A and B are shown apart, each in its own frame.
Chain A
Amino acid sequence: MLSVRHLTKTYPNGKKGLQDVSFTAAPGTVTAVIGPSGAGKTTLLRSLNRLITPEQGTVTLGDQELRGADAQALRQARRQIGMIFQDYNLIEPLSALENVLQGCLGQKRLLPGVLGLYTKAETSHALALLDEVGLRAYAAQKTRDLSGGQKQRVGIARALMQDPKVLLCDEPIASLDPQSTRTVMTIIADLAKARNLIVVMNLHQVGIAREFADHIVGVNAGRIVFDDNAAALTELAAAAIYEKEATALA
Chain B
Amino acid sequence: MISNPELTADSLQPAKLTPTPRPRLRAKRPARALLLALVAITGYTLTTLAPHGVDLGAASLTFLRNLRLMFLQPHLGQETFAQLSQALLLTVALALLTTLIGAGLAFFLALITARNLAPRSLGDVMRSVMALIRAVPTILWVLVYATVIGLGTEAAVVGLSFHSVAYLTKAFAEAIEEVPKEKLDALRASGAGFWLTVRHAVWPLVRQRLLAWTFIRFEINFANAVAVGAAAGTGGIGYYLFMASAFYFDFQEVGLIVLMILVFAAGLEMIAVRMRKSLLTGN
Q: Which residues of A contact B (CB under 8 A)?
A: 93-95, 97-98, 123, 127, 134, 137-142, 145-150, 177, 179-180, 183
Contacts and interface: CB of A to CB of B under 8 A. Distances in A.
- Point out which of A98, A142, A147 has the most chain B C-beta atoms below 10 A from its C-beta: A147
Contacts of B27: 93-95, 98, 140-142
B25 A149 contact: no
29 contacts: A93-B27, A93-B29, A93-B31, A94-B26, A94-B27, A95-B25, A95-B27, A97-B26, A98-B27, A134-B10, A137-B14, A139-B23, A139-B25, A140-B23, A140-B24, A140-B25, A140-B26, A140-B27, A141-B17, A141-B27, A142-B27, A147-B5, A147-B7, A147-B10, A147-B13, A150-B10, A179-B9, A180-B10, A183-B10
A108 to B, nearest CB: 17
A123 B25 contact: yes
A97 B25 contact: yes
A11 to B, nearest CB: 25
A94 B25 CA distance: 10
A123 B25 CA distance: 9
A97 B7 CA distance: 23
Contacts of A145: 5
B31 to A, nearest CB: 8
- Chain B contact-residue range equals 10 to 19
Given A97-B25, A142-B27, A146-B13, 18 more contacts: A94-B27, A95-B25, A95-B26, A97-B26, A138-B13, A138-B17, A139-B25, A140-B24, A140-B25, A141-B17, A147-B7, A147-B8, A147-B10, A149-B10, A150-B10, A179-B9, A180-B10, A183-B10
Interface of B: 5-10, 13-14, 17, 23-27, 29, 31
B4 to A, nearest CB: 10
By Cβ-Cβ distance, the 6 closest A-B pairs, closest first, are A95-B27, A140-B24, A142-B27, A97-B25, A140-B25, A94-B27
A15 to B, nearest CB: 23
Nearest to B28: A142
A142 B7 CA distance: 18
Contacts of B24: 140
Contacts of A150: 10, 13
Contacts of B26: 94-95, 97-98, 140
A148 B6 contact: yes
Contacts of B13: 138, 146-147, 150
A140 B28 CA distance: 9
A159 B24 CA distance: 23
A103 to B, nearest CB: 15
Nearest to B14: A137
A148 B5 CA distance: 9
Nearest to B27: A95
- Point out which of B7, B26, B31 has the most chain A C-beta atoms below 10 A from its C-beta: B26
Contacts of B9: 179
A148 B4 CA distance: 11
A97 B25 CA distance: 6
A75 to B, nearest CB: 26
B1 to A, nearest CB: 11
Contacts of A138: 13, 17
Nearest to B19: A137
B63 to A, nearest CB: 35
A131 to B, nearest CB: 13
A147 B17 CA distance: 14
- Point out which of B10, B13, B14, B24 has the most chain A C-beta atoms below 10 A from its C-beta: B10
Nearest to B11: A179
A137 B25 CA distance: 10
A147 B6 contact: yes
A150 B27 CA distance: 16
A95 to B, nearest CB: 4
Nearest to A97: B25
A95 B25 CA distance: 7
Nearest to A116: B26
Contacts of A98: 25-27
Contacts of B5: 145, 147
A130 to B, nearest CB: 10
Nearest to A142: B27
Contacts of B6: 147-148, 177
A177 B25 contact: no
